[in-house]
Structure 1
C-alpha cells in the first residue's frame, strides 16, 4: 500500500435520477440541471445510473445526448448499462452518435449478466430467443469490437444510390478507450483488464476468498490490483471508485439529520455479506469534508485510485443535491488534492 494516497485527479458524481410517473419530464429536466451545475462547479464527470421498468432513467444514452448539448466540458458517463437488455450493435451506434455530438466526452460503463427479473420480462424482451441469448462476457466483447471499429457486416461499398460501411457509423475513434466495465468480483476485474477496458468499482463487492469474509476496503483493493495486474497499462490503468459520500459543510440541521438517518438505515447491510451472491456493501460516508477526507485517506482502495464518481443518494430532494455537490466541489475535492476543471 502506498505510504500516502494518490492526489485525486478526477472528481465525478453519479445520480439515479428518479421521476414522478405523472410528470416524468420534470425529473429528467432536474437531471439535466444537476449535470449543468456539475460543470459550473468544475466536476470532471457526471454519471447516470440505469433503471428498467422503474421510475428512474431507462435511457441514459438519450439523456446524455441532451446533456451534451447543454454542457461543453464535463465528461458524461453511464454506470452502468446492463448489456442483457441491449443489442450490442444498436448500442454501439447510439454510443458513437452521442460521443460525436458531445465532442468526445462520453464514458460508457457497462456490465453483463441476465436482466433483472428475467423470468418476468423475457417474453417482452426476447420472445423468440430468450433461451439462446448470451448474457456473459461475450456480449461485452461484441460491443467492444463494434465500438473499436471491427467489421459488423461482410459488405461495404455502393449499392444503387446508397453507400454502405462494414463497420458501425459514425465511428468515433477515441470511444474505444473510454469504455468502462462495472464489476464487483475478481473475475470481472481481471476480464476488464485483459480486454483493455477501464474499471468502475462501486459500493458493492462480492465477498470472495477462502472464508468469504473480509473488510470492504480490502476486498475492493483486491479488485483494483487484480484489474491492473491484468491490464496492458498496469498501474496506469484507469479505475474509478463510486462510494456514497455526503459532505455536510453547508447543510442545514434538517439536512444533516436526514443524511445521518439515511446512512444509519442502510448500515446493517454492511456488517456481513448479503444474499446468495454474498454481496458486501460499503457504509455510506456522512460528515464534514475534513472528516470525510480523513476517512477516505484511510480507505485501502481509495489510496490507490485517483478518480471517483461519488454516488448521490437516490431519495433526496434537488436542493439536497445542490448542497452536496457544492460542498464536494468547494470543500471535499480540494481536501483530497483535487483541482476543479475549467
Structure 2
C-alpha cells in the first residue's frame, strides 16, 4: 500500500491554449483539484513553490484554503525554499494553516531549486553570513524553524503586557502540536538526505538527483533512500520516517491522452547540469495501463518509498487532471498492489 498524491508546479500562461491564464486561475484551480483528488480517494495535494516566476509562490494562503475546503487529504509543499524564509514568521503561518486543516499539513522544505533571478533571496532581505553559502543559510533557517515548531518558550514576557501571559517564557502562536513530525526535506544528494535524517525530517526525493555514481536514476534514488533510512535508525529516532518520490506518470486510456503524452514516454533517464553539477532526471512514464504496471514494477525508488507524488500538467485544467489522477488510481495502482 502506498499513499498517492499529486504535485502541481502551478504554472500559468496567458496563451490561448492554456487553461490557467492568470495567477488567480492557478490558485482557484489548485483548490478545486485538491477537492476532486480527495473525492477520488487520493491521499495528498502538494504544490511547488517558486519565486519570481509565473508559478505558485507564497504557499500558506493556498494551503489554508485547501484545508478549509477538504477534510481528509494531506496538504503539502514540494518544496519551500528556505533561503527566502523568515523561520519565525513561517512558524506562525504554518501553525495557522495546519490548525485550519486539522493537522493535515505535510511541509516539504529545502535549499530550493535553480532560480529565475540572480540570488533572489537577497531581495527578500537575506544574505549568508561571512564564509557561509546560501545552502548553509537555508539549512540554518530550517534548523531554527524546526526548533520553533517544538513549541518551547524562548521569549521573555513584558512586565506590563497588553494581555495576560501564561507563566514562563513565551512561544510563538498559534502552535499546532504534531507539525514538527510532518516536515520533509527535499534532498538531491545522499549527504543531504543523511543530514535530513539526523534532523528528524521525512525525506522528499523528486525527479532529479545529482549524479553520484553514474547508475540509472531510480537506482541512485533508491540507494539514497536506503542510506537515509539507515541514518535515521542510527540517529535513534523512535518514530518511523516517511519517504516520498515524485514521478511523471500518465496512463494512456483515450485519444486525448495519446495526443498529449503518447510520444513522451521514454526508456532512459535525462542528464543535464544544475549549479555546475551533473544531474540525473527521471524518465517520463506514459503508456497503456498494463504496460505502465510492468514498467513501474522495475522502479526501485518507488518500491522504497511509502508515498508517490504524481506530477500533473496543471495548465490543462482541473477536469483533465482529475482524469489523469483517476486513471492511475483505478487502472494502475491496484495492479501494483498500491490500492
TM-score per shorter chain, which class? Answer: 0.7 to 0.9
Aligned with residue 208 of structure 2, among 204, 210, 215: 204
Deviation per CA, 1:157-190: give whole Å up to 9, x if none.
Answer: 6633324562121111110110000111001110
Structure 1 distance, partners of 2:146, 2:84, is 16
Q: Give the conservation status (yes or no) of the 8 Å contact 1:80–1:109.
A: yes
Distance change in 2, residues 1:192/1:14 (3 Å): same
Structure 2 distance, partners of 1:150, 1:115, is 34
Counterparts in 2 of 1:178-217, with a 5 A limit? 178-209=182-213, 213-217=214-218
Work out whether 1:13 is the aligned partner of 2:6. Answer: yes
Please state whether the residue corresponding to 1:109 is helix, strand or coil. strand
How many residue pairs were aligned? 321
Structure 1 distance, partners of 2:302, 2:113, is 30
Instruction: State the TM-score, normalized to the length of structure 1.
Output: 0.86
Please state whether the residue corresponding to 2:145 is helix, strand or coil. helix
Question: What runs of 5+ residues in structure 1 fail to find an aligned partner?
Answer: 1-7
Distance change in 2, residues 1:82/1:58 (3 Å): same
Q: Give the conservation status (yes or no) of the 8 Å contact 1:84–1:115.
A: no
Deviation of the 1:239 alpha carbon = 0.6
Work out whether 1:239 is the aligned partner of 2:236. Answer: no
Residue 228 of structure 1 aligns with which residue?
229
Counterparts in 2 of 1:50-89, with a 5 A limit? 50-89=49-88
Residue 141 of structure 2 aligns with which residue?
139
Q: Give the conservation status (yes or no) of the 8 Å contact 1:113–1:135.
A: no
Question: What runs of 5+ residues in structure 2 fail to find an aligned partner?
Answer: 15-20
Residue 41 of structure 1 aligns with which residue?
40
Deviation of the 1:319 alpha carbon = 3.4
Higher relative contact order (CA 8 A, sep 6+): 1
Deviation of the 1:272 alpha carbon = 3.5
Counterparts in 2 of 1:288-299, with a 5 A limit? 288-299=288-299
Deviation of the 1:27 alpha carbon = 2.2
Deviation per CA, 1:125-162: give whole Å up to 9, x if none.
Answer: 22xx52537524222111111112244x4313663332
Residue 302 of structure 1 aligns with which residue?
302
Q: Give the conservation status (yes or no) of the 8 Å contact 1:147–1:175.
A: yes
Q: Give the conservation status (yes or no) of the 8 Å contact 1:93–1:170.
A: yes
Instruction: State the TM-score, normalized to the length of structure 2.
Output: 0.86
Structure 2 distance, partners of 1:10, 1:160, is 47
